[in-house]
Amino acid sequence: MAYVQRKIPFVGSPETNPETKPFFDASAAGKFMVRRCTSCKKVHWYPRAMCPFCFSDCTWEEASGKGKIYSLSVMKRGEAPYAIAYVTLAEGPSMMTNIVDCDLDSLKIGQDVKVKFVPTEDGPPMPFFTPA
Amino acid sequence: MSLKGAGYIVGAWEHPTRRATDKSVALLHAECAKGALEDAGLTKDDVDGYFCAGDAPGALGPLSMVDYMNLKCRHVDSTDVGGSSYQVAVGHALESIAAGRCSIALITLAGRPRSEGMATGTAARAGNPTGPDMQFEYPYGPTVVNMYAMCAARHMHEYGTTSEQLAWIKVAASHHAQHNPNAMLRDVVTVEDVVSSPLVASPLHRLDCCVISDGGGALIVTKPEIAKSLKRPKVKVIGVGEAPKHQMGGAVDLTYTAARWSGPPAWEMAGVKPSDIKYASIYDSFTITVLMQLEDLGFAEKGKGGAFVADGNLISGVGKLPFNTDGGGLCSNHPANRGGITKIIEAVRQLRGEAHPKVQVPNCNLALAHGTGGSLGTRHCGSTVILERE
């Protein structure tokens, strides 16, 4: 099934708040940021100021943008078909995203993917993924 | 202190409607309350504890509903964990009764997503922007169906589960629904019918999904002394458990549900094991929901749920574990997009010997009703209730 550009997001645009503003500011500059704990050193998702593993403080760092598809589903009944997925980042955590710019029905669990920023309608661009 | 036997379900009533264009949500709740009270042989003035969840209308639903029904309560509880809220409410009612905070608990659920034209499964929604997860999820179009579909895809990848195995769950539900005059879908379907129905979100087909229905249900839970004074068969609550599961900081694992954690305390409290259960109501928003919960509750080994559900093993009179003998959410009813209460109601019917004769399990003295609320793909709660006919 061919990829068709759709309106992103479907409804509204991502809200930002003081905790997550640096993520979206970096996204606007084309940088994909994740949070790493200063104490346990683990990267988590979605980004939080306080580590969800040990409640210590986290810093921002730029991610490699590399990952593997953990699971996916192609939505056939939407306005245009799209592939929603969890991608396991090279840094560790899995994140919800879409896989874009590809034949959706050929996508496979375990496939290597890389980040691609996609503009949203009236908010900051968001990290999507394409086959690596 | 164990809550085993601290409460009995003495009233259970499912609204017969599946489309309620001419009723308000508050009226549906109240009609369910009236039905359950009449079933129990009690009146509204006997109720001193009220339990509801997010489907209760108004910003402060429990207050609006006790006002609407003009109940004089000593206790209210509105724990909202989606479709699993009603098994949770049974557990909380037991705690409240044991603590002396109420003696006759009313639990209601109602809604009308069908009349309101809600595209429950396929519409992407923004949800509440104050949710900390929303900005990292809703731009990607998560819907009810594609979130559960990702669980199915991963389960298939890790364990070789097939669409045909999932289809058997719907086939079993349809065999039961043919005997339920109130069921939305009464035609018996085949595995071929399910796998050839249109894909909604791969790998889930249209017939892997539950119905969208208006309606509701209600339960009355009370203490042993009052239960003994009533005329209905005694359905004793002997095990309860609840637990949430989520994305775990990014350590996402879509192959199991919160039933893995809500089941063990319920089994332990009840002092029984899965092979003792004569009838099981298993939350069936989708076929994959049933398969994963059966594994997580211990009815089948993890990864072998597909083989367990195949070949009619869930069909009453045919298989080893009769399930959802009213047709369940897959064929009969999923009122307010929350199927927890109808799971308990059918378990009560089975224990009373009041299920349809074609699906009644002989000598049904032990039943389980499990709920899942929220989304298996992100955040959800599992809640387990084990019931015994006394």
Question: What is the domain partition of chain A in residue ranges?
Answer: 21-131
Q: What is the pLDDT of residue B142?
A: 92
Domain boundaries, chain B: 8-116+210-389
Query: Measured between CB atoms, does A81 come within 8 Å of chain B?
Result: no
Is CATH 2.40.50.840 the classification given to domain A21-131? yes
Mean pLDDT for the stretch of residues B149-173:
98
> Which residue in chain B has the smallest CA separation from A84?
B140
pLDDT of residue B126: 64
Q: Is 50 exceeded by the pLDDT of residue A11?
A: no
Is the pLDDT at B287 greater than 50, yes or no?
A: yes
A55 touching B, CB under 8 A? Answer: no
What is the number of residues in chain B?
A: 390
Of B133, B141, B250, the CB nearest to A84: B141
Cis omega before residue A22 (within 30°)? no
| pTM score of the predicted model | 0.96
Closest by Cα among B217, B244, B210 to B343:
B217
Tell which residue, B141, B109, B365, has the closest CA to residue B214: B109
CA distance A102 to chain B (A): 16
- Chain A residues with CB-CB distance to B157 below 8 A: 71, 109-110
Contact A10, A120 (CB under 8 A): no
Residue A119 touches partner B, C-beta closer than 8 Å: no
For residue A119, the chain B residues in CB contact (below 8 A) are none
C-alpha dihedral, A7 to A8 to A11 to A12, nearest 10°? -120
H-state helical runs in chain B: 25-40, 61-68, 85-98, 144-159, 163-177, 191-195, 224-229, 259-270, 287-296, 305-309, 328-331, 340-352
As a whole number of angstroms, the distance between CA A79 and CA B383 comes to: 35
Among the listed ranges B21-30, B113-122, B151-160, B379-388, which one has the minimum average pLDDT value? Answer: B113-122
Are A45 and B249 inside 8 Å of each other by CB?
Answer: yes
Q: Which two tokens stand for residue A93?
A: 């955590």
pLDDT digits (tens, 9 = 90+) for B117-144: 888 788 877 667 678 888 899 889 899 9
Q: Is 80 exceeded by the pLDDT of residue B232?
A: yes
Query: Under an 8 Å CB criterion, which residues of B touch A?
Result: 122, 124-126, 129, 132-143, 145-147, 149-154, 157, 198-204, 247-252, 254, 378
CB contact under 8 A, B201 and A77: yes
Mutation target to probe the B interface, by most B beta carbons within 10 A, among A5, A44, A58, A71 is A71
Q: How far is CA B237 from the centre of its chain?
A: 16
Q: Which residue of A has its CA nearest to B203?
A: A73
Cα–Cα dist B199/A3, whole Å? 17
Of residues B126, B133, B201, nearest to A11 (C-beta): B126
A27 CB near a chain B CB, below 8 Å? no
Contact A93 B251 (CB under 8 A): yes
pLDDT for B161 equals 98
CATH 3.40.47.10 is held by the domain B8-116+210-389: yes
The pLDDT confidence band at residue A3, using thresholds 50, 70 and 90, is: low
pLDDT value at A81 more than 50? yes
Name chain B contacts of A33, Cβ cutoff 8 Å: none
Cβ neighbours for B6, distance < 8 A, ≥ 6 positions apart: B94, B95, B97, B98, B223, B224, B237
pLDDT for res A1: 47
Closest CA to B144 of B124, B167, B128: B124
> What's the pLDDT at B131?
83
Please tell me the distance in Å from A62's CA to the nearest CA on chain B.
17
